[in-house]
Structure 1
Amino acid sequence: MSIQRTARDARHRLRQDEIIVAARRCFRQHGFHAASMAQLASEAQLSVGQIYRYFTNKDAIIEEIVKRIVDSRVHEMLATSSNVHLCELLAWRQMQNSDDEALMMEVAAEATRNPRIAKMMADADERMFRHACEKASRMHPGFSAERIHASVEIIAVLVDGTSYRRLTPQKASPERLYTLYQHINDLLFKTEES
């Protein structure tokens, strides 16, 4: 690959990154559905035509944002060695990245109106689910695939539900919730002999 092409590719990636940063701000302010390409272009300090050189449409920008969020979540999930940290995150309603959480809620809302976004959500969920199942299988090699899938599905429901519950005041003490989440984790992932 030539030096010129390498430099051009690097500039292209940098400009895409700049557009994504601007799009995240614009989508957080206006929502995916309401944000126009003109608003996004203004936020990025580019023309709409310049944005179309890097992304074919608004859905392609959303798709890239979702991909990056899922990449980050998969990396975080694979970097931890157990679900104990997950119990803390759930009980104290902590989040890795509040902007990512809000953007994923926007994606979920847009998915109710847009079949392409709904497909993106399904694909992102499939990717997260597959990685979580692979990790759980490595940690619990004696568990059947059915048990792994059911356990991961329950964890996914707890995580997704907690994302939405963060919008309301917490009704139980984090300490009590932590104990209950640990019990749930034990129920899902401890072997019968333990």
Structure 2
Amino acid sequence: MSVETEKKRPVKELRDQLRRDQIVSAALACVVRHGFHAASMGQIAAEAHMSVGQIYRYFPSKEAIVHAIVERIVARRLEWMVAGDQEIDFAARFANRRHVDASEEEWSERVLLLEITAEATRNPAVADIVRAADRRLRGQAVELVRVNYPELTEAEAAARVEFVTVLSEGSAFRGVTEQIASPALLEGIYRDVLQKLFPRMTERGLS
């Protein structure tokens, strides 16, 4: 391989990555706007200002784009968990999720996860993507809990992570329904439960 070719390779790789990111962002917008099935490759191409043929150069199928979307979400969540510098009151967050204005990014992520989870019930390829992402996030969460609570076994830490995950995802799913229970009463219940699970829990998270 010539020296000139070697010099060009990083530029091409960077350009290709930018193209892939552009397509993923376009797909994300289309799925949020139209839903998973209604978001066609033609719509994604139009949103990305490319031809459908160009899209297929980078992603062989819609499932491949879904994989890239999920990877983006996983990367953001893993970065958030590892950083550990966010001050979040989880009890208040779970109780008031329907009344707190979420950022546009968070709102879009909720819609995407609902759409992708629904598709996973029908599409084995998407189900595999969702399961793989869940394993990575769960593994990181269990590791962090055991660092802060070394007295817990791996199984005990995993059970606590599963419980909190159900609370978090359930709150997101319930976000489209009418909230009947008082947020203040719910917050007290959530706080009691979370402090039982994580006695040293503070507003900085599971610490």
The normalised TM-score by structure 2 is 0.85
CA-CA distance at 1:98 after TM superposition? 0.6
Distance 2:129 2:181 in 1: 34
- Equivalent pairs counted in the alignment come to 191
Distance 2:48 2:95 in 1: 38
Of the candidates 170, 174, 197, which is equivalent to residue 161 of structure 1?
170
CA-CA distance at 1:67 after TM superposition? 0.7
Does residue 87 (structure 1) correspond to residue 91 (structure 2)? The answer is yes
Q: Give the alignment's Cα RMSD to 1 decimal.
A: 2.0
Q: Is the 8 A contact 1:110 1:117 kept in 2?
A: yes
Segments of 4+ moved more than 6 angstroms: none
Does residue 145 (structure 1) correspond to residue 149 (structure 2)? The answer is no
AA of the residue aligned to 1:56 = P
Q: More displaced, 169-178 or 125-134? A: 169-178
Q: Unaligned regions of 5+ residues in structure 1, if any?
A: none
Q: Which residue of 2 aligns with 1:2?
A: 6
Q: Is the 8 A contact 1:84 1:182 kept in 2?
A: no
CA-CA distance at 1:33 after TM superposition? 2.0
Q: Which residue of 2 aligns with 1:24?
A: 28
Does residue 190 (structure 1) correspond to residue 199 (structure 2)? The answer is yes
Distance 2:114 2:128 in 1: 15
CA-CA distance at 1:82 after TM superposition? 8.6
Distance 1:158 1:77 in 2: 17
> Structure 1 residues 23 and 84, CA, compared in 2 at 3 Å: closer, same or farther?
closer
Distance 2:182 2:74 in 1: 30
Does residue 109 (structure 1) correspond to residue 113 (structure 2)? The answer is no
Does residue 51 (structure 1) correspond to residue 55 (structure 2)? The answer is yes
| 1:29-86 Cα distance to aligned partner (Å, 9 max, x none) | 2212232212211221211110111111110001000110111112223333699522
Q: Unaligned regions of 5+ residues in structure 2, if any?
A: 201-207
AA of the residue aligned to 2:17 = R
The normalised TM-score by structure 1 is 0.90
Higher RCO structure, 1 or 2 (CA under 8 Å, sep 6+): 2
Q: Is the 8 A contact 1:83 1:185 kept in 2?
A: no
Does residue 128 (structure 1) correspond to residue 132 (structure 2)? The answer is no
